[in-house]
Amino acid sequence: MSTLAAEFRNAYIHGSGPALATVFTPIATTNSPHRLSSFYDFTNAQYLTQDLASSLFHGKGLKVSKAEQTAWVNVFAAYWEAVGEVLKFEDGHSEASAAAIFKAWKKMAMALNKGYTDAGFPAWTLPCMYTVGKFLRTFAIKADNEAASQSSTTFGVLDDVAADVEKNAYLEDGARIINRMFTLCLTDRAPIEDSRKWGIYNITSLLFKTYFKINSVGLTKNLLRAINAQSHELPPLESFPKSHIVTFEYYIGVIHFLDENYTEAEKHLSTAWRMCHRQAIKNRELILMYLIPCHLVTTHTLPSKQLLASFPQLELFFRPLSNCIRKGDLVGFDAAMAAGEEEFVKRRIYLPLERGRDIALRNLFRKVFIAGGFEEPKEGQPPVRRSRIPVVEFAAALRIGTHATGRTRIDIDEVECLLSNLIYKGLMKGYIARERGFVVLSKNNAAFPGTGV
């Protein structure tokens, strides 16, 4: 009997979803390098269903309804085909293709979904659904890459020459199946203790990932709407496993982030950050990749040295920017943005990071304020900073901040514009008295709110 069949029986007898998911993981492991090939070789197309039926369900200890048995045999039969394609691919067979793997795997995913709708697969098997969905996505991406490397451009639509749609054809196809899984989880009417609703966040995250990949972030909104409409029937988010919560919160955070809704994004990303397993370095790094720009925009704070120290990539991205912001070095800031531009744009953090320039500018002008010293001391009064500052002093600071050369003319109107912006954004408190040519700043340590002066 095949090892996989034994694993299946074992998982089923114990009702262990994770163990069942392992059965449907189409990867040979170091411990068991032949698990796939031995499964594939244990039967052939001719005897497939018979062999499966007998090895999966004959014998003691397993009580499964006839319908469910048939459904599992169908899933395994499709799995067997898919494994055949995987093995062929790994062998470098001339007929092997990622597309063939995807197609076979898709059949399997459909057989599995059918098991849930028609044959009453129990909810404890959900990890298996996730695993099958996850690999469906993986294989679809591979198939799309393969197609992209092979095909020339095709003409998709009738009215216009260029269609951009075919590039993710396999993944879009896969997304439909995963979306089906989403519905299967969300709309399950079984009592909550045996409900597929427990799979909802995991599958949703998988679908998010998939929509991100096909550049259809907009579709994630539909999922959220559907979940919200059902929320009263879902178990509270806290009662889900942390891996589900963290992944879900991360994606919700990123979705808000892409909408430039940084306050909301920060909330979800912070939750993800706090709950994330400490050893999941890659995931922690990803959370911070978005959380750091959020913090910059919403609270004007920068990542600490300790925080960046454990993440070399983040250190590279954010350290130079942070230093320039802190010093009020506009030229350095612009250079760091330009140097990182490609990566920042790729990761979609360019636009929020760009806003850091305002903070750098604030810091530069703040130095002007501090350099201005104090008013003539009055008897018995604590010293008060000079609060009327000529606009030309800010202009001079800008020349320093932008490393202006001797000849560069400073446009006072532009200096005023920058000042007016900082005031408008609440980074500076006071007003511009244009005719008199100076800025009147707030006294009582409120000129640059939150910075102690």
Q: Which of residues 331-350 bind another protein (CB under 8 A)?
A: 341, 345-348, 350
Tell me the C-alpha to C-alpha distance, in Å, between residue 239 and each of 59, 101, 267, 419, 434.
37, 36, 19, 50, 59
- 425 burial (CB, 10 Å; 0-12 / 13-18 / 19+) is exposed
Does the footprint of another protein cover residue 124 (CB under 8 A)? yes
- Region 2-21 residues binding another protein, contact defined as CB under 8 A: 2-4, 6-7, 14-19, 21
Residue type, 276: C
441: helix, strand or coil: strand
- Region 276-315 residues binding another protein, contact defined as CB under 8 A: 276-280, 282-284, 286, 289, 295-296, 299-307
| Least distance to another protein, CB of residue 415, Å | 9
Interatomic CA distance for residues 209 and 134, integer angstroms: 10
- Of 62 and 275, nearer to another protein (C-beta) is 275
- Of 228 and 310, nearer to another protein (C-beta) is 310
Does the footprint of another protein cover residue 363 (CB under 8 A)? yes
- Of 226 and 412, nearer to another protein (C-beta) is 412
Residue matched to tokens 């990303």: 269
- Region 400-439 residues binding another protein, contact defined as CB under 8 A: 400, 406-407, 409-414, 416-421, 423-425, 431-434
3-state secondary structure 335-357: HHHHHHHHHHHHCCCHHHHHCHH
- Of 228 and 259, nearer to another protein (C-beta) is 259
Does the footprint of another protein cover residue 46 (CB under 8 A)? yes
- Region 188-247 residues binding another protein, contact defined as CB under 8 A: 192-195, 198-199, 205, 209, 212-213, 215, 217-218, 235, 239-244, 246-247
Does the footprint of another protein cover residue 110 (CB under 8 A)? yes
- 443 burial (CB, 10 Å; 0-12 / 13-18 / 19+) is middle
| Least distance to another protein, CB of residue 122, Å | 7
Longest dimension (CA), the chain: 104
31 backbone dihedrals φ, ψ, rounded to 5° = -70, -30
Are the C-beta atoms of residues 186 and 227 closer than 8 Å to each other? yes
Does the footprint of another protein cover residue 152 (CB under 8 A)? yes
